[in-house]
Amino acid sequence: MTNSAPQNSPRIVVVGSINMDLVVRSARLPAPGETLIGNSLSEIPGGKGANQAVGAARLGADVSLIGRLGDDGFGDTLRRALVVEGIQLDGVERTRKCCSGVAIIGVEDSGQNCITVVPGANGRLMPADVQKQAQAIARVDVLLLQLEVPIPTVLAAMELARTNDVVTILDPAPAIRDYPPELLNVDVVCPNESEAALLTGIEITTTESAHRAAEKLQQLGARQVVITLGDKGAVFRDASGHTGHLTPFPVTAVDTTAAGDAFAAALGIRLAEGGSLQDAGRFACAAGAVAATRKGAQPGMPSREDVNELLN
């Protein structure tokens, strides 16, 4: 069965990666040089872009994805998983003689993970691919971006969105050492602590330091900021300088792999629906918390009902 969004749903375009996650679960993560016996190995659709697209679709948005798959079996499986979610894939092409993106993910019993990504076709997503989808970008409410595809492609998508008054939201993940400053020319940036520290040079150890980093991110160009703090919730700073702390939802994490992707998707949809940054941030914290209680990236993305249940 294919899901599709009702008319008048918020419209979201995601530009980003599509990966097959090869997930090994073990009691704890191995130390460097150590060999451990794991408990299970699973192939699970993932990739930050595709996860955000699935997250937004399950929350009720009309979603299009712009990305690239390889011409391998993983590409077929990943495409099918997105079709089932009702995601528009006109902007997802296959790259010949190229493998699809793969993420090797270790998850320990506490829910913590470590990830190595082999970009494959994601690395071939070019600014021209985004420009081909200019009309699709121009007619949406929100553009969601992350950094598992080439930075020039991310910047090209931002530029197109800006010229069409589309709200731009950047999840600056995975963290990179030298973020180009132009990346912060967005309506909302939603880093986690380590990404915020790399972007600002401010080490985040308390909510107070997170607030200072949020202010710095605004000085660096982001109109609005939400910094996620894992099990400590999040802090936000809106365009008028209004700040606050979003308290965490107490849940037992089993897999935090795509919690940040669920967060970004939920933030995007609530902002598209006209919510304030504070309201959208709280909705997003709930979505991230639900995702952390479930195994796997795309399978773990919550529905609207799941998020509302936690909020209530």
- CA nearest 5: which of 213, 312, 308, 304? 304
CB 96 within 8 A of CB 44: no
> Would you say 19 or 88 has its CB closer to ligand RIB?
19
Site for ligand RIB in 196-225 (CB under 6 A): none
Number of Cβ within a 10 Å radius of residue 23: 24
Nearest-approach distance from CB 181 to ligand RIB, in angstroms: 24
Nearest-approach distance from CB 7 to ligand RIB, in angstroms: 30
Using rule CB under 6 A, residue 148 touches ligand RIB: yes
CA dihedral sign of residues 55, 57, 59, 61: positive
Catalytic position from the list 62, 261, 279, 306: 261
**Considering only residues 13, 15, 21, 199, which one is a binding residue for ligand RIB as defined by CB under 6 A?**
21
Using rule CB under 6 A, residue 133 touches ligand RIB: no
Place of tokens 């969105």: 161
The Cα 150–Cα 125 span in angstroms is 7
Nearest-approach distance from CB 58 to ligand RIB, in angstroms: 15
- CA nearest 13: which of 150, 154, 123? 154
Nearest-approach distance from CB 47 to ligand RIB, in angstroms: 5
Stretch that binds ligand RIB, among 13-21, 53-61, 78-86, 236-244 (CB under 6 A): 13-21
Stretch that binds ligand RIB, among 17-25, 89-97, 161-169, 281-289 (CB under 6 A): 17-25
Interface with ligand RIB (CB under 6 A), residue total: 16
Task: Map residues 89-128 to x or -, x wherever contact with ligand RIB holds by CB under 6 A.
Answer: --------------x-----------x-x-----------
Q: Any residues with CB less than 8 A from the CB of 205 and at least 6 apart, and which?
A: none
Specify whether 261 is catalytic.
Answer: yes
Nearest-approach distance from CB 4 to ligand RIB, in angstroms: 24
Distance of CA 235 to the CA centre of its chain: 18
The Cα 216–Cα 203 span in angstroms is 12
Using rule CB under 6 A, residue 258 touches ligand RIB: yes
**Considering only residues 48, 79, 211, 282, which one is a binding residue for ligand RIB as defined by CB under 6 A?**
48
Note the helical H segments in the chain: 48-58, 73-84, 127-132, 134-138, 151-163, 193-200, 207-219, 259-272, 277-292, 304-311
Nearest-approach distance from CB 110 to ligand RIB, in angstroms: 17
Stretch that binds ligand RIB, among 5-13, 193-201, 209-217, 257-265 (CB under 6 A): 257-265
The Cα 167–Cα 102 span in angstroms is 29
CB 45 within 8 A of CB 101: no
- What count of Cα atoms within 13 Å lies in the side-chain half-sphere of residue 290? 26
Stretch that binds ligand RIB, among 44-52, 68-76, 157-165, 272-280 (CB under 6 A): 44-52
List residues bridging with 52 in a β-sheet. Answer: none
Residue ranges in contact with ligand RIB by CB under 6 A: 17, 19, 21, 46-48, 51, 103, 115, 117, 148, 257-258, 260-261, 297
Which residues are annotated as catalytic? 261
